[in-house]
Amino acid sequence: MLGIGGNRTYATVLLIDDDLISREVIATILTLNGHTLHTAENGEEGLALLERREFEPQVVLVDVLMPGLNGVALVKALRIRTGAAIYAISGSNPPDELKAAVDGFLMKPFSPESLQTLLDEHNRKSEQPAATDEAPVLNVKILGQFREMMPDAAVREVYTAVVGDLRRRITALEGAIARHDAVEVHRIGHTIKGGCGMAGAQQAARLGALLEAESDDLSNSASLHTNLVQAAENLERMLKVEFPA
């Protein structure tokens, strides 16, 4: 890990790139601008860092055309393990399928100004409260168990149902908060915790547990509602990448 300052107003970044010089140059740019940076030399190492849960990036910069695990397969694996924005960096123009799977793209070589512009844009998009809970979007082990039990099409149906139900609960939660109905907020949180927990949707399940525990503080419930909206979007985005229609 490299980092100076560690200012909370700057995104924590995970950089995955097999090229030493690229890592050093990008690390210098980011740390001098106040970002905390974690680095990995390949896709497998980047995934291992995320699985250890020692930090939570808001941004992943990844060379999508590295040897080994790369491309859409790597992006899919990252989506499962983090709700961070994923930006591809590469010396070659990636295929449209890959561009569609990420949140943005920078062609190497890029200038410090281009990199900072991308991160500034990310910060602007993140000004509203987001789902910063420490839990990953999806439990990889549960997803793997589902895939052992049924075909991918059926697994996709399961998670499509989870997303749909979560969005309905979010709408109901908004109404309960507006009515100052702490009992209903508690009930909705309990339901989200149980249902999403069974499906391995850990980020949403964790937020449901917080709602259940803190339902008497409706001001905090309003913030958790916003985080749940983001968690649902993270889960839906993962679903589109992991199980393309």
Percent of the chain with pLDDT over 70: 91
Q: Helical H runs in 33-151?
A: 43-52, 71-81, 96-101, 112-125, 140-149
pLDDT(142) > 50: yes
**CA 186/CA 70 separation, integer angstroms:** 42
The domain limits of the chain are: 2-125, 140-242
Closest by CA to 47, choosing from 21, 14, 10, is 14
Two structure tokens written together for 146: 């589902």
CATH, range 140-242: 1.20.120.160
Task: Decide: pTM greater than 0.85.
Answer: no
Angle ∠(67,68,70) on CA atoms, nearest 5: 85
Q: What is the mean pLDDT of residues 146-172?
A: 91
- Region of residue 6 (left: phi > 0; alpha: psi -120 to 50; beta: else): left
Cα–Cα distance, 94 to 71 (Å, whole number): 8
User: CA 108 to CA 199: how far, in whole Å?
Assistant: 39
Closest CA to 24 of 45, 41, 10: 41
Nearest CA-CA partner of 91 in 15, 17, 39, 30: 17
Is there a contact between 133 and 207 (Cβ–Cβ < 8 Å)?
A: yes
User: Superfamily for 2-125?
Assistant: Response regulator (3.40.50.2300)
Give the model's confidence band at 240: pLDDT under 50 very low, under 70 low, under 90 confident, else very high: confident
- Residues with Cβ < 8 Å from 183, sequence gap 6 or more? 215
Average pLDDT of the chain?
84
Whether residue 105 is predicted with pLDDT greater than 60 in this model: the reply is yes
Which residue blocks in the chain are alpha helix, DSSP H? 20-32, 43-52, 71-81, 96-101, 112-125, 140-149, 152-178, 182-199, 202-213, 218-242
pLDDT tens-digit series, residues 208-238: 998 888 777 777 787 888 889 989 988 888 8
- CA distance to 27, 112, 135, per residue, from 205 (Å): 34, 39, 9
Output the DSSP codes for 131-145: ---SS-SS-HHHHHH
- Residue whose structure tokens are 């940076």: 37
Compute the average pLDDT of residues 35-49.
93
Within this chain, domains 2-125 and 140-242 share the same CATH topology: no
